[in-house]
Every structure is written in structure tokens, then in C-alpha cells.
Amino acid sequence: MENPVIIFGANALGRAAVEIFESNDIVVYGYLDDNQELHGSEMGKLAVMGSTEDDGFLKLIGKKCEAFVAVSDQSLRKGLIKMLKERRKMMPVNAIHQQAEIAISASIGHGEFINSHAVVGAHVVLGNHCLIHSHATLDFGAKVGDLVQIGAGAIIGSEVVVEDEVFIGSGAVLISGIKIGKGARIGAGSVVIADVEAGKTVFGNPAAALKA
């Protein structure tokens, strides 16, 4: 990637993405964020230039620069990605740390955030727009859907299937071969030894569904 990048989201995730891009010698223009109180301020050395709907900046995306969505809130993230696809006919770029380890045989989508010392193993299939935090491990043959968030230090065992929009907390362990249904949430530090149904929240060791 040669074009500069605009970061959507002036927050901690955005600042981490900037560090990744700059370490890879990619220029970052600045941030766009819908919090008007931030407009005109600086995050580090970069300005918060305006809102995510600012046509003056949006028209540059896909022509003179790229975009990266640094928003962890699922609904906001989906909305920004949809807007970029519909209005700019483009997908956000990947922010992959130089110290992440990605197998040659792994398949990676668009718009990924993969932080330092994350491991994406052999023949892993990673969907689009995922957030993979520091020291997370995806072991061989795992399949991960779109818009999945995997916390720092989490371990996704071999041949695990994680469907779209799943949240996996920091330090969680998913035992090899299980399936996590769409939109499920795995609590931090949990050890998951069986399939989790779509939309369920589980926590503990062994992980069990939280009672309503």
C-alpha cells in the first residue's frame, strides 16, 4: 500500500492503528470523528480534521488516500464500513503490526486490525473487519467470520469456527474444534470447551451461559 490513510475514530484504537501504519512507513493524514468537541484538536501529532460524513475528506478516499475504521463499537463500525462501501466503493485497508506473525497459508480479509505478537496460524481463514489484539493466537485451521473481536492474549484453538460479530474477551481460551455462533460473547479469561449458540454470552472455567 502506497497511499496515505485517514483514520475513522480518534480514540485509543485509532492511535494504535496510527502507530502500526507509521511503523510500516505509511503516511497517516489524520482522524475523522463524529465528536465535535475533538474537531481541530490533535491526537499526538495528528489533527482530528472533521466528522466521518465530511465530503471534503471522503472524496479523497479511494483516489488519493485509503481509510481505516478504528471503532470497536459493533454498530458504529458496521455503519462506517457500509458508508465507505456505498459512497466510496472501497473497503478499509488492513493495519497489521510488524511483530504480528501470519502464516503464508493463512487467508486474511479487508479492514483487519492485527496488533503486536498476534499469531495467525497455518490455513486460518479470517473474515473482514476483525480486531485481533496483542498476543492473541489463532491456531491452525481456525475459521473466523466478519467483524469478530478477539481480546489480548486470547487463544483460538485449532479448527475452531467463530461466526460473524462474535466478541472474545482477553485471555479467553477456546478448545480445538468447537463452534461459536453469530453474535456470541465470551467473557475475559473464560475457558470454552463446548459449542456456544448464536447470541449467547458465556463466562467462566468451564464457560457457562449467563442467566438472564
pLDDT tens string 43-65:
888 999 999 999 998 999 988 89
pLDDT higher than threshold 70 for residue 1:
no
The mean per-residue pLDDT over the stretch 111-119 comes to: 97
The mean per-residue pLDDT over the stretch 116-122 comes to: 98
User: Would you give the end-to-end CA distance of the chain in angstroms?
Assistant: 47
pLDDT higher than threshold 80 for residue 137:
yes
- Mean pLDDT, all residues of the chain: 95
Domain boundaries for CATH 2.160.10.10 within the chain: 96-205
Q: How would CATH label the architecture of 5-93?
A: 3-Layer(aba) Sandwich (3.40)
The mean per-residue pLDDT over the stretch 66-79 comes to: 94
Predicted confidence band of residue 100 (pLDDT cuts 50, 70, 90): very high
- Bridge-based pairing of strands 46-50 and 42-43 is antiparallel
Q: Is 122 helix (H, G, I), strand (E, B) or coil?
A: coil
Predicted confidence band of residue 210 (pLDDT cuts 50, 70, 90): confident
Dist. CA 92–CA 205, nearest whole Å: 36
Question: Residues 10-36: pLDDT tens digits?
Answer: 999 999 999 999 999 999 999 999 999
Q: What stretches of 45-166 show up as alpha helix (H) in DSSP?
A: 55-58, 74-87
pTM for the model stands at 0.94
The answer to whether 108 and 102 are in contact (CB under 8 A) is: yes
Predicted confidence band of residue 184 (pLDDT cuts 50, 70, 90): very high
Domain boundaries for CATH 3.40.50.20 within the chain: 5-93
Please report, for the chain, how many H helices and E strands are present, in that order: 3, 24
The mean per-residue pLDDT over the stretch 134-140 comes to: 98
Q: How high is the pLDDT of residue 211?
A: 74
Dist. CA 164–CA 160, nearest whole Å: 13
Q: The domain 96-205 belongs to what CATH superfamily?
A: Hexapeptide repeat proteins (2.160.10.10)
Task: For the beta carbon of residue 187, count every other beta carbon within 10 angstroms.
Answer: 21
Reading the block at residue 101, the C-alpha cell is 506473525
pLDDT higher than threshold 90 for residue 212:
no
* Angle made by CA atoms 27, 6, 36, in degrees to the nearest 5: 130
The mean per-residue pLDDT over the stretch 104-128 comes to: 97
